[in-house]
Structure 1
């Protein structure tokens, strides 16, 4: 389990130092695991964490990084308690469904809002947002200065609300993504491990060529290739066999029923069905939904005192609990982890966190646009909500564009795209003592490089096809969706805010293991990289720290 770069494991077996480190880690794991008592076993079975509890490991968040950490720690024999701000999303509503459709948002759709805030919030020039009851819904549209950051809220984090596009960056681009990480290890060990555990697969090209639900993507392919751009199929964590059954009418429709932004009821392999399911099956992992960590500080007797607020579905705090954790993993996502660490440093609870905390935050270069096609290029009234393809102009123009669905249920003659671009701008989180909140200094004008890079694709396609940009999807006469990101990254950058494995070195036993480690851009959809990096880091931590 040791890092191969240390020289402790080589082609001739295990060195003496490697053996000592390895056996020491096993003894440490056994000792830590041995702290489990009958009372702790009962607590695991009982449900939410109780005030006064003492846990070996507390994981803040249940997204990709946190789920990897919980599973691997549990498999090493260590009890883990996960704290999740959102709901469990395991109980159907009055309509018999856990999640609502994109085209019919209700209280389940948004996190503590009284009106929806759809990423694509206009259609034919008219606003489409609607009033909803305030509720701890699944999608958080968190507003900062200059940008809205979309995040999943619930057990499974972002995996609940993304399109499932599971992309490994091109090896040639990896050095700019995580320069301090050994690329050989990532591509030989950790990316394959992550892809296998996530259940990643690619659409059947023959089915793609014939099915009605991907007509929009075939139009995207035709236009890309006619302008000389590479068109690529993109892996995904959707169950492609299930989607074929949806199309055949032999399974309940999910991707073909407009389900994506507010959860997917059937075909998508979210973390609930992969890492978290495996973690729960160990019997060593407990999850407390609707709980929020507000404070982490060194405890007088060792370990860390963690203050947790339990809330109801109105977002009101109902109970405040204080627990002791021997080790704490920050896995609340780029925004959640960064905000918490910045607050803890500024308010004196963890004053020795280094000066890189809060820095290096980026939006993965996200920008959206639509194109108005000719009447002879219909994109289809039935559109799968799961994207399966993209246009690659990264090397020449700094942009990769998902061919995205526009699942309105009617023919729109529109092609819609989410671009990931090589945007160099980075923002910083900072503590605002006057408001008692954390601010982000992003500026909307910083999206201009993303627009310019996306235009290297779409200006050329429009010129070739004789088409124009849609101006009715993000406002009145507004072409670019430059107000948001789906892919927040950075804020606790690896090998800067932490060491090269996510340790907060000033505080032994504190770790970061989520997207905040990645400095602002992955060149593709980021969750496979977040997962693979977490696999790398937790393996090292178990081998050397526990």
Structure 2
């Protein structure tokens, strides 16, 4: 049986395990007896050979490859499993009528577009609940993150972009680029089930008129566009448009989850990991602290809560090998807390440094009345404006949808810029929480780069910016939130060149905190490929040899 056939078979076994857990209402997800993943430690607590914290991209890669190597592995996820329909028959709530499923313990939704015509008509009051999208608010920067089995893959636009090789080499010069582009990027794209839109369908579909309008306008300014692959199943979308299957991308679903069509991690890497029979996922389990065991290994203090936030239990889980895949925010906070409280005092001073928002800036333009963008818009982006080779102001701008269900004459963009500014996370002992040292002024280079590109388009098309979409004030560039948090535990600084945490044996970082603040495109393919590279070395040298 080929490697691909093995992966497909494991994925089917894992999907069955996920379905069984949902039907039973269980917080434990496994395709094997519970004892296969965990045993009893000498202190009566749980002991597992390997623990993976989180279920996002790097975590999912690590768990799959550990399971394939025969290593009993426990994944700890602070969010819930999203495959149980609610009262309306859907797993996720839509963007236009969000309910408590949309947000992580909020009283009100916090969508990136805060207003329309300066009216507060987008966000809704909701009941606090373990919803799928969180906006973590620091003093002068907010970060969107996914909560649930699959992490950010549940709430992103699915744009599966491999970075330009020259910029990858600039950002991560210590990583063999030839190896990445020949082996690990293709491996990641295959396992993520990345696919490409049919260009003929794109050109004729009413659902992508908004993208064609932006392409034409970019062309008038001498700017080129590129099609972008995605993990959303484009064939499913074509059937949505034909009325053959339930709508998801064509029903304004994305930031609060897609009910159909999207190949999120629970359907790819995580399903395959569960299918090895060696991986167990515990949901609604948040790791609060880490300490070292005598004689090696680690003990995690973990809080188990229900979906309404009630504390059910506090557990201690021991392991020999600990993989941190809780994302740039989660992983960095755990390590900062461990260093500053003295639990892991030998952690590098580089932990917390090198953070950046991947140069994210959101902006929008107002089109002429005779140039509509379409009342029907797919929620899944398919195209970007590529001006990354511009020496003065490199920009890759995702042509974003604004699926309002009516004509808006708005062209919306998420610009990824090359901002050299970096933030630093610090531990606040009084709050037992992490702060981000980052000021709005640090986003000035990113705003200037985005403005340079869109000023050219506006000039060529005699159009203007929209000032009414990002809150109550007149504001044309949203520079106070990001979708792509990167850094905090930078590869080669806080860790060695394979994610081994400096100062400690058998402790690893496997997520976007390894990337120093910028990668020039949507980052999840890079995070996945880098995790594939790192875990291959770690299993060979550290795990199977121990």
Asked if TM exceeds 0.5, the reply is yes
**Deviation at residue 47 of structure 1 after TM alignment:** 10
Structure 2 unaligned spans of 5+: 1-30
**Residue 238 to residue 467, structure 1, CA distance change in 2 (3 Å):** same
Match of 1:525 among 493, 505, 522: 522
Task: Encode CA deviations 1:406-455: one digit per residue, 9 max, x unaligned.
Answer: 01000001100000000111011111122221111111121111111011
Aligned partners of 1:45, 1:88: CA distance in 2, in Å?
21
**Deviation at residue 138 of structure 1 after TM alignment:** 0.4
Match of 1:477 among 474, 478, 481: 474
Task: Encode CA deviations 1:479-526: one digit per residue, 9 max, x unaligned.
Answer: 111110000000000000000000013111100000000000010000
**Corresponding residue for residue 368 of structure 1:** 362
Structure 1 unaligned spans of 5+: 1-39
8 Å CA contact 2:53, 2:75 repeated in 1:
yes
**Corresponding residue for residue 423 of structure 2:** 427
Aligned partners of 2:479, 2:297: CA distance in 1, in Å?
43
8 Å CA contact 1:44, 1:286 repeated in 2:
no
Aligned partners of 2:285, 2:485: CA distance in 1, in Å?
22
Aligned partners of 1:88, 1:318: CA distance in 2, in Å?
17
**Deviation at residue 212 of structure 1 after TM alignment:** 0.4
**Corresponding residue for residue 498 of structure 1:** 495
8 Å CA contact 2:367, 2:410 repeated in 1:
yes
Q: Secondary structure at the match of 1:545?
A: helix
Aligned partners of 1:254, 1:366: CA distance in 2, in Å?
26
**Deviation at residue 302 of structure 1 after TM alignment:** 2.8
**Residue 73 to residue 210, structure 1, CA distance change in 2 (3 Å):** same
**Corresponding residue for residue 103 of structure 1:** 96
8 Å CA contact 2:50, 2:72 repeated in 1:
yes
Larger displacement relative to structure 2 (536-545 or 302-311): 302-311
Match of 2:344 among 350, 354, 357: 350
Aligned partners of 1:514, 1:362: CA distance in 2, in Å?
14
Aligned partners of 1:140, 1:262: CA distance in 2, in Å?
10
Aligned partners of 2:168, 2:85: CA distance in 1, in Å?
41
**Deviation at residue 44 of structure 1 after TM alignment:** 5.1
Aligned partners of 1:439, 1:226: CA distance in 2, in Å?
44
**Corresponding residue for residue 80 of structure 2:** 87
Aligned partners of 1:113, 1:57: CA distance in 2, in Å?
33
**Deviation at residue 42 of structure 1 after TM alignment:** 3.4
**Corresponding residue for residue 29 of structure 1:** none
Per the normalisation by structure 1, the TM-score is: 0.91
**Corresponding residue for residue 8 of structure 2:** none
**Corresponding residue for residue 58 of structure 1:** 51
**Corresponding residue for residue 313 of structure 2:** 319
Q: Secondary structure at the match of 1:338?
A: helix
8 Å CA contact 2:39, 2:48 repeated in 1:
no
Asked if 1:391 is matched to 2:382, the reply is no
Q: Secondary structure at the match of 1:123?
A: coil
8 Å CA contact 1:48, 1:288 repeated in 2:
no
Task: Encode CA deviations 1:52-71: one digit per residue, 9 max, x unaligned.
Answer: 11100000000000000000
**Residue 310 to residue 67, structure 1, CA distance change in 2 (3 Å):** same
8 Å CA contact 2:336, 2:351 repeated in 1:
yes
**Corresponding residue for residue 14 of structure 2:** none
Larger displacement relative to structure 2 (159-168 or 288-297): 288-297
Aligned partners of 2:124, 2:32: CA distance in 1, in Å?
46
**Corresponding residue for residue 331 of structure 2:** 337
Asked if 1:149 is matched to 2:152, the reply is no
Task: Encode CA deviations 1:139-192: one digit per residue, 9 max, x unaligned.
Answer: 010001101100000000000000000000111211122121010000000001
RMSD between superposed Cα atoms in Å: 1.6
**Corresponding residue for residue 214 of structure 1:** 208
- Provide the aligned length of Structure 1 versus Structure 2: 507
8 Å CA contact 2:67, 2:73 repeated in 1:
yes
**Corresponding residue for residue 25 of structure 2:** none
Match of 1:251 among 242, 245, 248: 245
8 Å CA contact 1:44, 1:284 repeated in 2:
no
Q: Secondary structure at the match of 1:108?
A: helix
Asked if 1:447 is matched to 2:438, the reply is no
Moved over 3 A (4+): 44-51
Q: Secondary structure at the match of 1:159?
A: helix
Aligned partners of 2:90, 2:217: CA distance in 1, in Å?
37
8 Å CA contact 1:280, 1:286 repeated in 2:
yes
Match of 2:297 among 296, 303, 307: 303
Aligned partners of 2:37, 2:123: CA distance in 1, in Å?
40
Task: Encode CA deviations 1:340-360: one digit per residue, 9 max, x unaligned.
Answer: 111110000000001100000
Q: Secondary structure at the match of 1:379?
A: coil
Aligned partners of 1:301, 1:219: CA distance in 2, in Å?
63
8 Å CA contact 1:58, 1:328 repeated in 2:
yes
Aligned partners of 1:275, 1:49: CA distance in 2, in Å?
28
